Amino acid sequence: MEVIKITGCKRLKGTIEIGGAKNSAVSLVPAAILSDTVKITNVPNISDINALTQILEYLGVSVQKDKNEMIINSDNLENKPITLEQSKKLRASCYFMGALLGKYKHAEMYFPGGCSIGERPIDLHLSGFEQLGAKVKLVDGKYIVDAEKLVGADINLRFASVGATINILLASVLAEGKTIIRNAAREPEVGNVIDLLNNMGAKITGKDTSVLQIEGVKELKGGEIAVIPDRIEAGTYIIAGVMTGENLKIANVIPEHFSGLTKVLKEMGADIKIYNDYVIVNKVPHLKAVDIVTEPYPGFPTDLQQPITSLLTQADGESTVTENIYENRFQNVPYLVQMGADIKVQGRMIKIKGPIKLTGGEVVTTDLRAGAALILAALAADGETTIKEIKHVLRGYENIINKLRAVGGEISLEDV
């Protein structure tokens, strides 16, 4: 069994380079099958991309990977049902539903997997497909989505869902006529997908706004896109810097993409200097408690809620975190409490009293960002921490051990 071992209280100094955004890359890869050849650069080396590559290869798609570049050629694509095992491996498998439906007017797959952080239904995706003219059947757990033809529609999302926005985009770019997505997600990852689709010949306007207009086109050609920097990876290391950094530089970032985080950190009194494409972070002796509420972009991202909870254990006074997006995203809390934190869960809110000296121990990762949160806590804790079930972390953080080690973290991957 592989575990991460961390000896805490080392100051992090130097530079951490941020890679391509996981949540962009996992949408761009399925989007690529809408045309013949697509080149994607700045792809992070994470296990979620490997899982998608396996699905592509199963469908007969040729994938050339070289470091952070992928060339995807779909000339020999065969529209087969995506298996239960493939569907369950990750949430982003669901993007094959939109892409296959858009291209072939038919898709078959099972309910997608992903971190267990709440119910995570796909009703908005399916309702979007239905409004475009598809029929959805659920047979023995498998979704069969089929359309004689797809026709543009005016779709109003009940919630600004990232997944539903992207999936409806994928299904509508080749539909007849015009589609409007209202209350669309404005996350930068959606914009990255729009840029790729437009590079491929799609006609989508309204990027970065909550109303997207898609003028259907007859076919898409090859295209190229660079994955945007990962704002959640950046945010995680920025928080690490606030906890234990000494002139820690987080490079290759788009600071505007994590303004929800930096606003909160400034309110706490953190020492964070923001430049064009990098930030510099220093630990300060005292931080103020804050109240955080997770919201769709550009609000405070749910994906940084667990990581910042580790930091809040170090702030003076009582902080609160209200999780508005997912109902079960506090699974890191019992382990933080085991490490000494004073945290009470009250429904969708947690109350954190600090500052508390954290102590290392043996903890378990339950989901991707819970894992990041435990790594941050361990970096600031006295003594050694062993973190189990690290597969969750490796799904979404490229090279996390080497990146932290290179800036002075005492962290290693061990087989025990």
CB of 31 to ligand UD1, least distance (A): 13
Stretch in the footprint of ligand UD1 (CB under 6 A) among 57-65, 113-121, 145-153, 400-408: 113-121
Q: Which residue of 2, 64, 138, 159 would you call a contact of ligand UD1, by CB under 6 A?
A: 159
Q: Which residue of 51, 55, 162, 377 would you call a contact of ligand UD1, by CB under 6 A?
A: 162
Token representation of residue 74: 């779909």
Stretch in the footprint of ligand UD1 (CB under 6 A) among 68-76, 117-125, 129-137, 197-205: 117-125
| Residues in contact with ligand UD1, shown as a per-residue x/- string from 176 to 215 under the rule CB under 6 A | ---------x------------------------------
User: Known catalytic residue: 115?
Assistant: yes
The vertex-281 CA angle with 279 and 287, nearest 5°, equals 135
Q: Which residue of 6, 38, 124, 339 would you call a contact of ligand UD1, by CB under 6 A?
A: 124
Helical ranges in 132-161 per DSSP H: none
User: CA torsion angle for 356, 359, 360, 363 (degrees, to 10)?
Assistant: -60
C-alpha dist (Å) from residue 251 to 278, 362, 369, 401:
4, 31, 21, 17
CB of 327 to ligand UD1, least distance (A): 8
Considering only residues 38-97, where is the footprint of ligand UD1 by CB under 6 A?
91-92
Helix-, strand-, coil-residue percentages of the chain, each rounded to 5: 35, 30, 35
Tell whether residue 26 is a contact of ligand UD1 (CB under 6 A).
yes
CB of 367 to ligand UD1, least distance (A): 10
Judged by beta carbon, residue 302 or residue 365, the one nearer ligand UD1 is 302
Dist. CA 164–CA 94, nearest whole Å:
9
Buried b / exposed e across 15-37, counting CB within 10 Å, b at 16+?
A: ebbbbbbbbbbbbbbbbbbbbbb
Judged by beta carbon, residue 137 or residue 273, the one nearer ligand UD1 is 137
Strands 178-182 and 154-156: parallel
- The gap from C-alpha 16 to its chain's centroid, in whole angstroms, comes to 19
Tell whether residue 161 is a contact of ligand UD1 (CB under 6 A).
yes
Token representation of residue 91: 């949430």
Instruction: Please give the residue whose beta carbon sits closest to ligand UD1 in the complex.
Output: 163
Dist. CA 320–CA 345, nearest whole Å:
10
CB of 54 to ligand UD1, least distance (A): 17
CB of 311 to ligand UD1, least distance (A): 19
C-alpha dist (Å) from residue 206 to 25, 144, 181, 294:
21, 31, 10, 24
CB of 299 to ligand UD1, least distance (A): 10
Judged by beta carbon, residue 230 or residue 389, the one nearer ligand UD1 is 230
User: Strand locations in 117-194, DSSP E?
Assistant: 135-139, 142-146, 154-156, 178-182
Tell whether residue 105 is a contact of ligand UD1 (CB under 6 A).
no
Closest by CA to 102, choosing from 202, 199, 6, 237, is 202
Judged by beta carbon, residue 195 or residue 303, the one nearer ligand UD1 is 303
Stretch in the footprint of ligand UD1 (CB under 6 A) among 158-166, 238-246, 273-281, 339-347: 158-166
Given the residues 70, 82, 100, 115, the one annotated as active site: 115
Dist. CA 64–CA 283, nearest whole Å:
42
Binding stretches for ligand UD1 (CB under 6 A): 23, 26, 91-92, 118-125, 159, 161-164, 185, 302-303, 325-326
